[in-house]
C-alpha cells in the first residue's frame, strides 16, 4: 500500500514570503527518505506541504505539483482532509491528546473520522498499532491511563502508533527524535526500519548519523543566502551523499564546514 | 521577593547587629511595636474625647503609630528607609481598609438575614401574605427559570462566538467582533434591561412584562462574559493538538468538537459558572422587564415573574405593614443570594480542579 | 468567512458539509453579537424617540427633556467620580500589597478575597450601604458640616440618615475596587523582573524599586482599569437607588439629604410605575447613559490595548 511521491516545481509561500523554491523530487515507495539541511531552510515547510498540513497556517499556500501514485494532491477537487488520512505525520514534540487514555489515543484517528468498529476490532487495532510502534509490552497493562503520563520517548512512540493506526500510505516525520534520549532514539530508528516494509517514510533530521543509519535516499536543502528561499540542492542515494556528493555545498555541510 | 524590610534581626531583639556585615543602624522590632502601642494609647485617649469607640482608637492608633515610626526611622535609619517603611504601612493598611466593608457587609447580612432563614422562607410564596410569614418560594423558582433561560441563550452564542474568534476568525470581522464584545461587557445592566423592554414593547405594547424579557436582558450581559472567558481558555489549547488531529485526517469541525473543546472543558465550565454567578444577582434589568408578583408563575412566556433580587429589593423598599416582616424577608433574600453566588464561585473552582489536565503520573 | 477571507492561492471548492455548517454557525454567532449591539442602539432610539420629539409641556417635569436629564447626568458623574477618586488609590495600593508585599503563600488567597467583593450582587451592596455605611457616616457628616462647612462640598445641612451623595459614592467605590485592583495586579505582576532586579541591585529600597520599575510600567494599565471601573460606576443602579436620598437638583453639596439622582437609579425607581411618555423619557435618559458609558469604555479599551501593543510583554 505504500506509494511513490513525485514533486515538481514546488514553491512554498507564507503569505508573500517565498520560503522554499523549485523543489523537484521523486520519493520511492517502501523506503526511508531523509531530509537534511541547516535550520530555516524549509525542511519542515516542505514536509508539511506533502500532506497539505502547510495550508493550516493562515496565509500559507503552495504552487506546483505533488503527485501521489498519479493523483495530484493539490488538484481542484481534492479534499485536504482525505489527503491527510492517506499521509500521516509525526511531529517533533510528542503530542498525545491529553484528555484521552493510551487506548483512546491510538484509536483517535479511526474514531474521530467517524469509523464505527466493534470493541473486539478496536482492541485488535490497538494491539496491532502498539506492537507496530514497539510500545505494546510497555503499556499493555495500563491502556486506560492518560497518554500524557508516559515518558517522552514512549509518548513519541504512542504518536507513531496513533499515526499508523489509520493505516496511511505514507508517514512523514519531522525531527521525531530531537526531543528524545539516545535509547529512545534507537528504539524509534529500529521502528522506522520495520515500518518501511509497509510505508513510504520521509523523515526530517538534524542528526547526520541518523540519516546515514536509516535512510535509502537523502535530500539536502540549503539557503542560497539571507532572505533567499530554500532550495533542494541535492537528492541522491544516502550512500552517495555521505561518501561522494555531487555538490560542494553538500559536502561542506556534511563535513561540518558549513558557513 | 526580597525580605529586606524585615525589621530587626528576629528573635535576638536588641539593638546590636549580630551579623558581621551590617553597616546600617536599624530600628529594632520591639521599638516599632512600642511606638505603635503608644499610638494606640494616645488614640484611645483622643477617641475618648468624642465618646470612646474601638474603630476610632484603631484609626488614630495606626495613624499616630505610623507617624511616630516614620519620624524615628528618619532619625535612625535615614530618609529612604523611613519612606520605605511608611509606604509599607500605607499599602498594608489599604488592604486592611478593603477588608472592612467586606467583613462589615457579610456581618450585616448574616445578622439581619439569619432570622428568617427557615423552611417557610423556602416553601411559601407571598400570595395572600400581609405581615408575618411568607417566603421567597416563587422568587427562587423565578430566579432558577430565568437564569436557566439566560444560560440557554448565552452559552451557545457565547461559545460559538469564542470558537469563531479563536478558530475561524480573520481580518476585519474578527477585529470588529472582538471590539464589540469588549464594548458589550461595559453595557450598564439597566441599559440591557431597557433594550429588552424596548424590543418587546415594540411588538407587544408598552405594558408588557415577561420572564423571557428578563432572560433576554440578562443574556445581553452574560454573553460577552462567556465569550471572553471561553476565548481565553480556547487560546490556551496548544496548537500541536489541533495539528495532530488534522494530520490524522480529522476535519476541522470534528477537531474542534472532539479535541479542542474536551481539552478546554474545565476552563469553559469554570467561565460559564462564573458568568452565571455574575448575572444571578442582577436586579436592575429585571425591575424593568419581569415585573413583580406575589404568586408563583412558572411560565416565562406569560405574565410577570418575581426573582430573588427583585423580591429582595421590593421587600426592602415596599415592606408593607408592619414593615419589620418585609424587611426581614428582604435581608434573608439577600443572604440567600450571597450564598448562591458564593456557592457558584466554589463550584467554578471545583470544576477547574476536577477537569485540570491529568498527567496520570 | 467562506468568501471574504479565503487565503490567497488555489481555490478550495471542496469543504465538507460539517465544516461549512460549523464555520457558518460560529460566524453567525459572531455576527449576531454585532447585531445585538446595533439592536441595543436602534431599539433605545426608537423607544426614546417620542420623548425626544415631544412637546416639552407633556414631559414628566413639564419643562424640557434637557432640564430633566441634566441633573441626572450630573448626579451620575458626581457619584462615579467620588467612587473613582476613592477607589483608585486604594486599589493600586492593594494591588501593590498583593503583588510585592504580602507573604507569598497568602497572596493568591488575598487576591481571591478581594475578587469576592466583585461577586457580591449590587442589591446587597445597597442593603449594606443603607443599613451599615449610611448610619456610620452620620456623625462624620455632622462634624463636617460644622467644621468644614466653608468648603462647598460639605456645606450642609448634614443629612441625619446618611443617605447622601458621598455615601453613594463610597458604596460605588467599594464595588469598583476589585475591578481596578484586579487589572492593576495583573500589570504590576508583569513588570519585567529584569528591571526590578536591576533596581534592587542598585541598592534601591523596595519602595524605590516599585517607583522605578513597577509604577511606570503599570501606569496605563492602571488608567485603563480605572476607566473600566468608572464605566461600571456610571451604570450602577441598585446600590445607588437604595442608598441615595434623591430629591434635589444640581448641587456640589455631598452631605445633605437633597441630592440629584443618577440616571440608572432614577430609571430603576420610576420605571415600574411609569406609563406613556414618562417611559419614553426614562428610555431617553437610558440612551444618554449608554452613550456616556460607551465613550468611557471605548477609551478604556483603547488605553489598555495600546499598552498591550507597545509593552512587548507577551
Ligand atoms: N508559520 C510561519 N509563518 C511565516 N514564516 C514561516 C512560518 N514557519 C516557517 N516560516 C519561515 O519559513 C522558512 C522555513 O522554515 P521551516 O520551519 O520550514 O525551516 P526548517 O528547515 O524546518 O528549520 P528547522 O531545522 O529549524 O526546523 C523560514 O524562513 C521560516 O522563517
Ligand atoms: Mg523544522
Q: Do B189 and B79 belong together in one domain?
A: no
Q: Do B198 and B344 belong together in one domain?
A: yes
ipTM of this predicted structure: 0.90
Cα–Cα distances in angstroms (integers) from residue C303 to residues C219, C220, C227, C291, C298, in the given order: 10, 6, 9, 18, 9
User: Which of B238, B246, B357 has its CB closest to that of A84?
Assistant: B246
Evaluate if residue C312 carries a pLDDT over 70. Answer: no
Instruction: Identify the pLDDT of residue A8.
Output: 92
Q: Do B346 and B229 belong together in one domain?
A: yes
pLDDT in tens, C232-243: 899 899 899 999
Alpha-carbon distance A172 to nearest alpha carbon in chain B (angstroms): 10
Least confident among A21-35, A74-88, A154-168, C58-72 = C58-72
Question: From the alpha carbon of A41, which atom of ligand 1 is closest?
Answer: 21
| Half-sphere exposure at residue C180, Cβ-oriented, CA atoms within 13 angstroms | 31
Residue from C1, C6, C10, C18 whose CB has the most chain A CBs within 10 Å, to mutate:
C10
Find out whether the beta carbon of A45 lies less than 6 Å from any atom of ligand 1.
yes
State the average pLDDT over residues B313-320: 88
**Across the interface, do A162 and B240 touch by the CB < 8 Å criterion?**
no
Alpha-carbon distance A215 to nearest alpha carbon in chain B (angstroms): 23
pLDDT in tens, B56-70: 778 888 888 888 888
Evaluate if residue C306 carries a pLDDT over 80. Answer: no
CATH superfamily of C77-262: MetI-like (1.10.3720.10)
Taking all residues of chain B, what is their mean pLDDT, rounded to a whole number? 85
* Domain A5-96+167-254 coded CATH 3.30.43.10: no
State the average pLDDT over residues C281-295: 92
Q: Do B336 and B264 belong together in one domain?
A: yes
Least confident among B70-74, C5-9, C266-270 = C5-9
Taking all residues of chain A, what is their mean pLDDT, rounded to a whole number? 89
Q: Do B161 and B264 belong together in one domain?
A: yes
pLDDT in tens, B231-241: 999 999 999 99
Q: How confident is the model at residue A257 (pLDDT cuts 50, 70, 90)?
A: low
Q: Among residues 72-131 of chain B, which lie with CB inside 8 Å of chain C?
A: 80-81, 83-84, 87-88, 90-92, 94-95, 97-99, 101-102, 104-105, 108-109, 112
B332 assigned to some structural domain? yes
B361 assigned to some structural domain? no
Instruction: Identify the pLDDT of residue B155.
Output: 96
Evaluate if residue A19 carries a pLDDT over 70. Answer: yes
Instruction: Identify the pLDDT of residue C309.
Output: 54
A85 CB near a chain B CB, below 8 Å?
yes
Peptide bond into C157 cis (omega under 30): yes
Helix (H/G/I), strand (E/B), else coil: B16: coil
pLDDT in tens, C138-194: 888 888 888 888 887 887 787 888 889 999 999 999 999 999 998 898 888 888 888
Instruction: Identify the pLDDT of residue C300.
Output: 82
pLDDT in tens, B93-145: 889 888 999 999 999 999 999 988 888 889 888 887 777 888 889 999 999 99
**Across the interface, do A95 and B357 touch by the CB < 8 Å criterion?**
no
Alpha-carbon Rg for chain A in angstroms: 18
Tell me how many domains chain B contains: 2
B88 assigned to some structural domain? yes
Q: How confident is the model at residue B23 (pLDDT cuts 50, 70, 90)?
A: low
Give chain C as a 3 state SS string. Answer: CCCCCCCCCCCCCCCCHHHHHHHHHHHHHHHHHHHHHHHHHHHHHHHHHHHHHCCHHHCCCCCCHHHHHHHHHHHHHHHHHHHHHHHHHHHHHHHHHHHHHCCHHHHHHHHHHHHHHHHCCHHHHHHHHHHHHHHHHHHHHHHHHHHCCCCHHHCCCCCCCCCCHHHHHHHHHHHHHHHHHHHHHHHHHCCCHHHHHHHHHCCCCHHHHHHHHHHHHHHHHHHHHHHHHHHHHHHCCHHHHHHCCECCCCCCCCCCCCECCCHHHHHHHHHHHCCCHHHHHHHHHHHHHHHHHHHHHHHHHHHHHHHHHHHCCC
User: Which of B244, B249, B358 has its CB closest to that of A95?
Assistant: B244
C-alpha cell at B6: 524585615
Q: How many A/C residue pairs have CB atoms within 8 Å?
A: 24
Question: Looking at per-residue confidence, does C278 or B48 come out higher?
Answer: C278
Evaluate if residue B322 carries a pLDDT over 90. Answer: no
Residue from B169, B241, B244, B356 whose CB has the most chain A CBs within 10 Å, to mutate:
B244
Residue that terminates a domain, selected from B86, B114, B142 = B114
Ligand nearest to the CA of A206: 1
Instruction: Identify the pLDDT of residue B81.
Output: 83
B211 assigned to some structural domain? yes
Question: From the alpha carbon of A47, which atom of ligand 1 is closest?
Answer: 18
When mean pLDDT is compared over A220-229, B14-23, B48-57, B99-108, the highest value belongs to B99-108
State the average pLDDT over residues A71-88: 89
Instruction: Identify the pLDDT of residue B357.
Output: 63
Q: Which domain holds residue B105?
A: 2-8+21-114
User: Which of A61, A78, A81 has its CB closest to that of C9?
Assistant: A61
State the average pLDDT over residues A14-26: 92
Q: Do B165 and B96 belong together in one domain?
A: no
Amino acid at each position: 500500500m505504500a506509494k511513490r511521491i513525485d514533486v515538481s516545481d514546488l514553491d512554498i509561500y507564507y503569505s508573500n514570503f517565498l520560503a522554499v523554491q523549485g523543489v523537484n523530487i521523486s520519493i520511492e515507495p517502501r523506503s526511508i527518505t531523509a531530509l537534511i539541511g541547516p535550520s530555516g531552510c524549509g525542511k519542515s515547510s516542505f514536509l508539511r506541504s506533502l500532506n497539505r498540513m502547510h495550508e493550516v497556517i493562515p496565509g500559507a499556500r503552495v504552487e506546483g505539483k505533488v503527485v501521489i501514485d498519479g493523483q495530484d494532491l493539490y488538484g481542484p477537487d481534492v479534499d485536504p482532509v482525505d489527503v491527510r488520512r492517506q499521509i500521516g505525520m509525526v511531529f517533533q514534540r510528542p503530542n498525545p491528546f491529553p484528555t484521552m487514555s493510551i487506548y483512546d489515543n491510538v484509536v483517535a484517528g479511526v474514531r474521530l473520522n467517524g469509523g464505527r468498529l466493534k470493541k473486539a476490532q478496536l482492541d485488535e487495532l490497538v494491539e496491532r498499532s502498539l506492537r507496530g510502534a514497539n510500545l505494546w509490552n510497555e503499556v499493555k497493562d495500563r491502556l486506560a491511563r492518560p497518554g500524557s503520563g508516559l515518558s517522552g520517548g514512549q509518548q513519541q512512540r504512542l504518536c507513531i502508533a496513533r499515526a499508523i493506526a489509520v493505516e496511511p500510505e505514507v508517514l512523514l516525520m519531522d525531527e521525531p527524535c530531537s526531543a528524545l534520549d539516545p535509547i529512545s532514539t534507537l528504539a524509534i530508528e529500529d521502528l522506522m526500519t520495520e515500518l518501511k516494509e509497509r510505508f513510504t517514510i520521509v523523515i526530517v533530521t538534524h542528526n547526520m548519523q541518523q540519516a546515514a543509519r536509516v535512510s535509502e535516499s537523502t535530500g539536502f536543502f540549503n539557503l542560497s543566502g539571507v532572505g533567499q528561499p530554500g532550495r533542494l540542492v541535492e537528492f541522491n542515494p544516502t550512500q552517495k551523499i555521505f561518501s561522494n556528493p555531487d555538490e560542494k555545498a553538500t559536502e561542506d555541510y556534511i563535513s561540518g564546514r558549513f558557513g | 521577593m526580597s525580605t529586606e524590610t524585615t525589621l530587626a534581626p528576629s528573635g535576638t531583639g536588641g539593638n546590636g547587629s549580630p551579623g558581621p556585615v551590617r553597616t546600617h543602624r536599624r530600628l529594632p522590632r520591639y521599638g516599632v511595636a512600642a511606638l505603635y502601642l503608644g499610638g494606640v494609647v494616645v488614640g484611645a485617649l483622643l477617641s475618648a474625647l468624642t465618646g470612646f469607640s474601638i474603630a476610632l482608637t484603631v484609626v488614630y492608633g495606626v495613624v499616630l503609630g505610623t507617624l511616630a515610626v516614620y519620624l524615628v526611622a528618619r532619625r535612625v535609619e535615614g530618609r529612604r528607609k523611613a519612606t520605605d517603611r511608611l509606604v509599607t504601612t500605607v499599602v498594608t493598611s489599604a488592604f486592611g481598609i478593603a477588608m472592612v466593608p467586606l467583613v462589615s457587609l457579610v456581618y450585616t447580612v448574616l445578622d439581619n438575614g439569619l432570622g428568617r432563614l427557615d423552611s417557610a422562607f423556602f416553601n411559601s410564596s407571598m400570595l395572600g401574605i400581609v405581615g408575618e410569614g411568607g417566603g421567597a418560594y416563587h422568587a427562587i423558582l423565578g430566579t432558577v427559570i430565568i437564569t436557566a433561560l439566560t444560560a440557554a441563550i448565552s452559552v451557545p452564542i457565547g461559545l460559538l462566538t469564542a470558537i469563531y474568534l479563536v478558530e475561524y476568525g480573520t481580518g476585519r470581522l474578527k477585529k470588529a467582533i472582538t471590539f464589540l464584545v469588549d464594548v458589550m461587557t461595559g453595557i450598564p445592566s439597566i441599559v440591557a434591561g431597557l433594550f429588552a423592554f424596548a424590543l418587546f414593547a415594540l411588538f407587544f405594547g408598552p405594558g408588557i412584562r415577561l420572564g423571557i424579557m428578563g432572560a433576554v436582558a440578562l443574556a445581553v450581559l452574560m454573553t460577552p462574559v462567556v465569550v471572553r472567558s471561553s476565548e481565553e481558555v480556547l487560546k490556551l489549547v496548544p496548537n500541536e493538538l489541533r495539528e495532530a488531529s488534522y494530520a490524522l485526517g480529522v476535519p476541522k469541525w470534528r477537531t474542534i468538537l472532539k479535541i479542542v473543546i474536551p481539552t478546554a472543558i474545565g476552563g469553559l465550565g469554570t467561565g460559564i459558572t462564573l458568568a452565571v454567578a455574575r448575572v444571578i444577582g442582577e436586579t436592575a434589568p429585571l425591575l424593568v422587564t419581569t415585573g413583580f408578583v406575589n404568586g408563583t408563575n412558572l411560565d416565562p412566556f406569560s405574565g410577570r415573574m418575581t426573582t430573588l433580587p427583585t423580591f429582595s429589593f421590593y421587600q426592602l423598599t415596599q415592606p408593607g405593614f408592619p414593615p419589620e416582616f418585609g424587611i426581614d424577608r428582604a435581608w434573608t433574600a439577600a443572604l440567600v443570594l450571597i450564598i448562591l453566588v458564593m456557592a457558584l464561585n466554589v463550584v467554578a473552582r471545583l470544576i477547574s480542579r476536577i477537569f485540570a489536565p491529568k498527567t496520570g503520573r | 468567512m467562506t468568501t471574504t477571507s479565503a487565503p490567497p492561492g488555489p481555490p478550495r471548492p471542496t469543504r465538507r458539509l460539517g465544516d461549512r455548517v460549523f464555520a457558518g454557525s460560529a460566524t453567525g454567532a459572531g455576527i449576531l453579537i454585532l447585531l445585538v449591539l446595533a439592536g441595543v442602539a436602534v431599539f433605545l432610539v426608537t423607544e426614546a424617540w417620542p420623548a425626544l420629539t415631544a412637546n416639552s409641556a407633556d414631559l414628566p417635569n413639564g419643562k424640557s427633556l434637557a432640564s430633566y436629564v441634566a441633573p441626572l447626568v450630573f448626579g451620575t458623574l458626581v457619584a462615579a467620580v467620588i467612587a473613582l477618586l476613592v477607589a483608585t488609590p486604594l486599589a493600586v495600593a492593594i494591588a501593590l500589597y498583593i503583588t510585592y508585599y504580602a507573604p507569598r503563600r497568602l497572596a493568591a488567597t488575598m487576591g481571591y478575597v478581594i475578587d469576592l467583593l466583585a461577586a457580591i450582587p449590587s442589591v446587597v451592596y445597597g442593603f449594606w450601604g443603607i443599613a451599615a455605611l449610611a448610619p456610620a457616616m452620620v456623625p462624620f457628616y455632622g462634624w463636617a458640616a460644622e467644621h468644614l462647612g466653608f468648603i462647598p462640598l460639605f456645606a450642609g445641612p448634614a443629612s441625619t440618615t446618611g443617605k447622601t451623595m458621598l455615601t453613594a459614592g463610597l458604596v460605588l467605590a467599594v464595588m469598583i475596587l476589585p475591578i481596578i485592583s484586579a487589572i492593576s495586579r495583573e500589570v504590576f505582576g508583569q513588570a519585567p523582573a529584569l528591571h526590578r532586579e536591576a533596581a534592587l541591585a542598585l541598592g534601591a529600597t523596595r519602595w524605590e524599586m516599585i517607583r522605578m520599575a513597577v509604577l511606570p510600567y503599570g501606569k496605563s494599565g492602571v488608567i485603563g482599569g480605572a476607566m473600566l471601573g468608572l464605566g461600571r460606576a456610571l451604570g450602577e443602579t441598585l446600590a445607588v437607588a437604595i442608598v441615595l436620598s434623591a430629591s434635589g437638583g444640581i448641587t456640589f453639596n455631598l452631605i445633605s439629604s437633597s441630592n440629584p439622582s443618577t440616571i440608572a437609579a432614577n430609571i430603576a425607581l420610576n420605571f415600574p410605575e411609569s406609563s406613556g411618555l414618562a417611559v419614553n423619557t426614562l428610555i431617553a435618559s437610558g440612551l444618554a447613559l449608554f452613550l456616556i458609558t460607551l465613550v468611557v469604555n471605548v477609551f478604556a479599551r483603547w488605553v489598555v490595548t495600546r499598552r498591550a501593543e507597545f509593552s512587548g510583554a507577551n
